[in-house]
Amino acid sequence: MRRRRIHSLETHARAVQSSDQRTEKRSLSATAALTLGALGVVYGDIGTSPLYALKEVFIHGHLPIEREIILGILSMVFWTLMVIVSLKYVVLILRADNNGEGGLIAMLALASTAVEGKPRLRYTLLVVGIFGTAIFFGDGVITPAISVLSAVEGLEIAAPGLHDWIIPLTLVVLTLLFGVQRFGTGGIGKFFGPITALWFIVLALLGLPHIFRNPEVLAALSPHHALLFIWHHPHVAFVSLGAIVLCVTGAEALYADMGHFGKGPIRLAWFSAVLPALVLNYFGQGAMLLEHPEKAKNPFFEMAPQWALFPLVILATLATVIASQALISAAFSVTKQAIQLGYFPRMRWAHTSVKETGQIYVPFVNWALYVSIFFAVVLFGSSTRLAAAYGITVTTDMLITTIMTFFVIRYGWKLPLALCVFSTGFFFIIDLLFFSANFIKIKDGGWFPLLIGAAVFTLMTTWKRGRELMGERLREDAIELRSFLDAVFLSPPLRVQGTAVFLSGDKTATPNALLHNLKHNKVLHEQNLFVTVTHHQVPWVGFEDRIELESLGHDCWVVTLHFGFKNDPDVPEALKLLKGHGVKLEDMETSYFLSRDIVIPTIGSGMALWREKLFCNMHRNASAAADFLSLPTNRVVELGSKLEI
């Protein structure tokens, strides 16, 4: 047997430069451009939190609006920003990159790889990571709903008579937002950074005059005010955590968008612009409440002078649309990654940019999000009621990220156990407190994103398990490829001109498409490639590592194509790399053979019958493999069979 490996993935991993090294080589102008871009994409969500975070602390009437309480709340907000965002995400989590990429799926890949020798632990981490990914879609529903609704609610301050128009206008904005997704953000995306930069400038300018009038509010920078508040009002302080955590919504975007902008620009944007603007705005709201406690109903818009209210509502709406856009784009990206890792059925997607491979549009996800958001806005009716549903998704993902980080730094980085326990344990306790404070609000709306997350989790695990069952059934009936070909060539059939590419999930088994072709057509092509597409838990696999080739003799080869979870699986493009390795491909003389199985649910040892039926529906409605693998439609032959699971 002759076996050739073109390149190894290990060589590729060693050759990839770290994102820090790339950052050092960027010019000053490039870094500035990336920093501005990070403002628009990374910080849109956390940047719009001042619209509703402090309002939700005081609006329920749990707290008397007096000096010690206001200083205690502001101190908790400030140190939440410092500990959760600055220390946890900016300092620690950004270091855990997967070949320069971030996000929960990248963290899941790192953690599962780090504990590869511990199968039970690895399985547990995979389940936890999948649940975190599922909860992200709940966040994808709540974030646009609460952000846009809270911005439009500013109309009530500017003109109380417009109250009845808040919900309709919110729905109009959201409808327009989702309606333009298919066109991509390439045309308007260049305005995201400047608009968000203007938003942060306005945040700072709104807060400064009130701080100048009541500079005593700056005393809240000291943590002792937070500690005194917790000491004297422990129960109320615990309940307040459920609203205070809203000031760090969007912190996960710091990590998720690392691959787009790099660590340096994200850190620079946070410390130079975002953090100062947020602190000035929150402290400005607090300073105003010291003087006018009656304005706690909507302190953000109450800070603005009357003449600036309508322009501020417009700017706030634009800022929340940008924040929502970033999350919608992330939902498309996460869906694509989950599909390629085998947790979602194939879906149709379209690239919306000829320059950026990461800019995609997934119609099903787009309209599923829209319907869910529309329902959330109508069901809850106000940003205050949505806030109760918001915190649970944020704190769940924060908690899961912390858990994953421990296994990465302990088993992946091999750091001392005591250091790992101390560093992640500190954040775990804080995350758990925030999670517990939001858990008690499940009946007030927290059930909604959890219901979405549970539904998505069920779909993901059902699809994954169903695919495993299909693989088991196919292997039970499979014929070993090499021995089958040896038997065929004892009395070879007619060889016809051209190349046949047989797509198969198991490179050692004879594809059903080949068996059907020989049975019905009684011919074999001049060249035969048995191609298996493999997706790895790394973001990118370069062209130099794309192909693994094994000769079976008689002009037959086993070809394994390697893709990362952010690569586009383009089979024809990858097969062009075979030139020069003994395989000659002519586009118009190459046919692609696929096996399309019809899955039939049965009562047995697989899954529960309802899950098998669910899987069968998902399998039947999945996008065609030919589209997913970028095969030319005029040269694809599909041969079907029935399969019981």
DSSP states of 4-29: EES--HHHHHHHSPPHHHHHHHS-HH
Residues 34 and 83 in one domain: yes
CB atoms under 10 Å from CB of 435, counted, come to 20
Nearest residue to 218 via CA among 78, 384, 383, 371: 78
Q: Could you tell me the pTM of the whole model?
A: 0.84
Residues 261 and 176 in one domain: yes
Q: Do the domain assignments include residue 36?
A: yes
The pLDDT assigned to 638 comes to: 84
Q: Both tokens of residue 165? A: 């128009």
What backbone torsions phi and psi does residue 165 show, to the nearest 5 degrees?
-95, -5
Cβ(493)–Cβ(523) below 8 Å: yes
CA dist., res. 18 & res. 261, Å (int): 13
Q: Do the domain assignments include residue 19?
A: no
Of 433, 464, 495, the one marking the end of a domain is 464
Q: In the Cβ-directed half-sphere of 600, how many Cα atoms lie within 13 Å?
A: 5
Residues 554 and 581 in one domain: yes
**8 vs 90, more confident:** 90
Q: Is the pLDDT of residue 22 over 70?
A: no
Q: Do the domain assignments include residue 474?
A: no
Cβ(160)–Cβ(321) below 8 Å: no
Q: Do the domain assignments include residue 381?
A: yes
Tally of structural domains, the chain = 2
**3 vs 621, more confident:** 621
Nearest residue to 498 via CA among 583, 398, 600, 595: 583
Alpha helices in 382-446 (DSSP H): 383-407, 417-439
Q: Both tokens of residue 276? A: 């100062």
Query: How large a percentage of the chain has pLDDT more than 70?
Result: 93
The pLDDT assigned to 16 comes to: 38
Pairing of strands 2-5, 547-553: antiparallel
Q: With cut-offs at 50, 70 and 90, classify the pLDDT of residue 10.
A: very low
**577 vs 640, more confident:** 577
Domain with residue 158: its CATH number is 1.20.1740.10
Q: Is the pLDDT of residue 399 over 80?
A: yes
Nearest residue to 509 via CA among 483, 481, 537, 476: 481
Of 440, 464, 488, the one marking the end of a domain is 464
What residues does 351 pair with on adjacent strands?
A: 360
Residues 382 and 498 in one domain: no
Q: How far apart are the first and last CA of the chain?
A: 35
The pLDDT assigned to 466 comes to: 92
Residue whose token pair is 């039939």: 600
Q: In the Cβ-directed half-sphere of 193, how many Cα atoms lie within 13 Å?
A: 14
CA dist., res. 107 & res. 104, Å (int): 5
SS3 state of residue 184: coil
Pairing of strands 590-600, 494-503: parallel
Compute the average pLDDT of residues 227-250.
90
Residues 429 and 460 in one domain: yes
Give the structural domain span for 606. 479-644
The pLDDT assigned to 393 comes to: 87
Using one digit for the tens of pLDDT, what is the confidence trace for 499-522?
999 998 888 889 888 888 888 888
What residues does 548 pair with on adjacent strands?
A: 5, 560
Residue whose token pair is 């590419």: 501
Nearest residue to 587 via CA among 517, 501, 511, 518: 501
CA dist., res. 531 & res. 9, Å (int): 18
Q: Do the domain assignments include residue 118?
A: yes
Q: Do the domain assignments include residue 284?
A: yes
R_g (Cα) of the chain, nearest Å? 27
CA dist., res. 54 & res. 203, Å (int): 14
Residues 488 and 445 in one domain: no
Interior angle at CA 502, CA 497 and CA 504, nearest 5: 170
Cβ(126)–Cβ(108) below 8 Å: yes
233-237, 254-258, 270-274, 289-293: range with lowest mean pLDDT:
254-258
The pLDDT assigned to 37 comes to: 81
CA dist., res. 410 & res. 114, Å (int): 8
Using one digit for the tens of pLDDT, what is the confidence trace for 571-590?
999 998 888 777 888 888 89
Alpha helices in 166-307 (DSSP H): 166-179, 192-213, 223-232, 234-244, 252-256, 258-261, 263-269, 275-291, 299-302
Compute the average pLDDT of residues 370-382.
92
Write the CA distances from 459 to 103, 112, 127, 362, 625, integer angstroms.
Answer: 21, 21, 13, 17, 19
What backbone torsions phi and psi does residue 640 show, to the nearest 5 degrees?
-100, 165
Of 441, 464, 487, the one marking the end of a domain is 464
Q: In the Cβ-directed half-sphere of 341, how many Cα atoms lie within 13 Å?
A: 24
**88 vs 333, more confident:** 88
Please give the full DSSP string across 102-163, using - where no structure is assigned: -SHHHHHHHHHHHTTT-HHHHHHHHHHHHHHHHHHHHHHHHHHHHHHHHHHTTHHHH-GGGG
Residues 458 and 548 in one domain: no
Q: Is the pLDDT of residue 363 over 60?
A: yes
306-315, 416-425, 468-477, 478-487: range with lowest mean pLDDT:
468-477
CA dist., res. 512 & res. 382, Å (int): 56
Residue whose token pair is 């790399």: 577
Q: Do the domain assignments include residue 22?
A: no
CA dist., res. 281 & res. 211, Å (int): 9
Q: Is the pLDDT of residue 355 over 70?
A: no
CA dist., res. 338 & res. 349, Å (int): 13
CA dist., res. 525 & res. 75, Å (int): 74
Residues 330 and 446 in one domain: yes
Q: Is the pLDDT of residue 3 over 90?
A: no
**382 vs 77, more confident:** 77
Q: Do the domain assignments include residue 616?
A: yes
Residues 460 and 518 in one domain: no
Write the CA distances from 20 to 15, 89, 147, 267, integer angstroms.
Answer: 14, 16, 33, 12
Q: With cut-offs at 50, 70 and 90, classify the pLDDT of residue 595.
A: confident
The pLDDT assigned to 187 comes to: 57
Residues 313 and 351 in one domain: yes
What backbone torsions phi and psi does residue 117 show, to the nearest 5 degrees?
-80, 0
Query: How large a percentage of the chain has pLDDT more than 90?
Result: 45
Contacts of 234 (CB under 8 A, 6+ apart): none
**353 vs 344, more confident:** 344
Q: With cut-offs at 50, 70 and 90, classify the pLDDT of residue 351.
A: confident
Cβ(49)–Cβ(247) below 8 Å: yes
Q: Is 35 left (phi over 0), alpha (psi -120 to 50) or beta?
A: alpha
Q: With cut-offs at 50, 70 and 90, classify the pLDDT of residue 150.
A: very high
Residues 491 and 400 in one domain: no
Residues 388 and 490 in one domain: no
Average pLDDT score over the chain: 86
CA dist., res. 348 & res. 361, Å (int): 9
Give the chain's largest Cα–Cα span: 96
Cα torsion through 436, 440, 446, 447, rounded to 10: 110
Nearest residue to 597 via CA among 508, 466, 494, 483: 466
CA dist., res. 348 & res. 307, Å (int): 48
The pLDDT assigned to 4 comes to: 40
Q: With cut-offs at 50, 70 and 90, classify the pLDDT of residue 418.
A: very high
CB atoms under 10 Å from CB of 272, counted, come to 12
CA dist., res. 282 & res. 288, Å (int): 10
The pLDDT assigned to 330 comes to: 83
- Element (H or E) spanning 352, and its range? none
